[in-house]
Amino acid sequence: VPSPSLSSSSPSSPSPSLLLSAASLFTPEEEIAMGPACWLWDYLRRSGQGGFFLPLSGGVDSSSTAIIVYSMCRLVVRAIEEGQQQVREDCGKILAEPGYVPTSAADLCKRLLFTCYMGTENSSRETRHRAAQLAAQINCHHMDLNIDGAVSALLGIFQLATGMRPRFRAAGGCARQNLALQNIQARTRMVLAYLFAQLMLWVNGRPGGLLVLGSANVDEALRGYMTKYDCSSADVNPIGGISKQDLRLFLAYAQREFGLPVVAEIVAAPPTAELEPLVDGALAQTDEQDMGLTYAELSQFGRLRKQELCGPFSMFRKLAGAASRPPGHRDPKEIADKVKHFFRCYAINRHKMTVLTPSYHAESYSPDDNRFDHRPFLYRVNWAWQFAAIDAELQQFTAAHHHDQPPDDRQTVDAEQQQQQQRRPQSEAATRAHLFGIATAMLQEGGMDATQHHHRSSKAASSAPYKDRQTDHSERTSACNCGSGNGGGGGGDDDESDGGCQLPPASSTPPAQLHRGSSHIFRSERDDGPIHGSSIGTTTIGGSLTKSQSTGAGGYGRVHCSVMGKIKDRPGVPV
């Protein structure tokens, strides 16, 4: 749709495509309102389907998706009013009414968008009310139902087969039972969504079916805060490339521009999955408490991970450096804990990203694993080298803070500058070498039983200058409980698995020699050599190292993945 400033230009004015005025630029909120809307319309008219089906929970994400469809209807009606014949023909074809001309966006939305609130005994009255109010204000076809019967039937099958019935944590169940009961509710909604999408047009006497819309945002995808094959699994997802923070701004815009007063209640409500029992009718579960991170923190971490190409260590350095300057003043230890928690959860839940619903590509921070963010989906959950480097850097921050306390009257400025220069490496390369040496020493003190194992002769022959450094390591696999539960193995939904090991304090060690690879990853001088530093002897390497790490793969320059019983080495470990 041409903007008013371009369509009203005189014949003697420059070409509209060359104009760059304030009226031709859109705010991020306007881009969210129009970009995904045009994408949905184009996909719908090409798919041959007759509309959309959306599980509407009354939260920020599903409400944003519903409003984007409403915005699509507004754009379609405006284009038809401006005389765009192709849009009019497409509209009649989609609705199987060749002569139909929508009178308003609300009229078109009633025919194109079908929503359903799928409540359970754990759902609150507030979310049910907000979903119904939003559906009424955009005039979509809305249903309200309870799915407790379907959930109970599935649990009954399990009880019939095993003789046991899981319980929520509030009723005395363990974490596995609690998560299983949450996941079965979420997955039941996905099954019902596809059932309704296939048959709702049949119920209304129209041919064809409906496209199922997903409503999972960027932050939940990165954190893995979703059930695999729940309502995040759909045909298309218009908000899959947009963060929660940006969606909140979009909803505030939609409230003003589209006249949707219920949106204020939706934005003000705390995000919650409503999968655990209520306590006296009130929420006992919120997203941010469950995740251990706020959505603002997830948004910041996501931008650093993708746009700044940060791994755990470099992300910590950026955040800790920024926090040391006003007005931040955040505790570096708190930042380190948050970064570690984020990357543990990211690694545990990477398997969910491989089946992510195709999404509208809105931002460069998109985590779309299949199209715009190609990465390995098997990471070490404990991030041993990176977390050890964070701990070493944290010790330096602590030491620097201690030494930077206000001097007493006997100290001079020259003496203070001299002390700072003595405790800080003189170059960036020296800093990296120093941190790598400390991290290596910390890993060598980890706690896994490891004796020396001889290197293969072929490796030794090809690396004679390093022959004296070769050590033997045992082939015992670590017995530490890293990433316990399904989530730790990357095959389930156990978001509560920390998947990491506590590393001991650092000890002094000579700086290790480093070189920087083409992928900007710190690696040892020799990929197949032992870890640099003093001879390991009977000292143990990191308590959570895998078998492949303890048998001569040096410097953590490679990812070692056991596939079909064979060890596959792949470069690309983010630092």
Tell if the pTM clears 0.85, that is, is over it.
Answer: no
Residue 397 has a pLDDT of 79
Residue 368 has a pLDDT of 86
Domain boundary residue, one of 276, 307, 327: 276
Residue 327 has a pLDDT of 58
Domain boundary residue, one of 276, 307, 333: 276
Whether 213 has a pLDDT exceeding 50, the answer reads: yes
Residue 318 has a pLDDT of 92
Mean pLDDT of 190-206: 98
SS (H, E, C) 422-441: HHCCCCHHHHHHHHHHHHHH
Answer yes or no: is 360 within a domain. no
Domain boundary residue, one of 276, 296, 320: 276
| 433 closest CA partner among 367, 526, 522 | 522
Answer yes or no: is 176 within a domain. no
Residue 285's pLDDT band, with cuts at 50, 70 and 90, is confident
Answer yes or no: is 399 within a domain. no
- Residues 6+ positions from 374 with CB-CB distance below 8 Å: none
Answer yes or no: is 180 within a domain. no
Whether 217 has a pLDDT exceeding 90, the answer reads: yes
Residue 155's pLDDT band, with cuts at 50, 70 and 90, is very high
Answer yes or no: is 67 within a domain. yes
Q: What is the pLDDT of residues 464-498, one digit of tens each?
A: 444 343 434 333 333 333 333 333 333 444 444 33
How many C-beta neighbours within 10 Å does residue 68 have? Answer: 26
Write the DSSP string, 508-535: --PPPPEEE-TTS-EEESSTTSPPSSS-
Q: How many structural domains is the chain composed of? A: 2
Which CATH number do you get for residue 64? 3.40.50.620
When the pLDDT of each residue in the chain is averaged and rounded to a whole number, the result is: 76
* C-alpha span between 4 and 505 (Å, rounded): 65
346/491: higher pLDDT: 346
Answer yes or no: is 98 within a domain. yes
Residue 269 has a pLDDT of 93
Answer yes or no: is 70 within a domain. yes
Q: Which domain holds residue 505?
A: 429-570
515 φψ region: left (φ > 0), alpha (ψ -120 to 50), beta (else): beta
Chain Cα centroid distance, residue 511: 36
Answer yes or no: is 349 within a domain. no
* C-alpha span between 118 and 203 (Å, rounded): 19
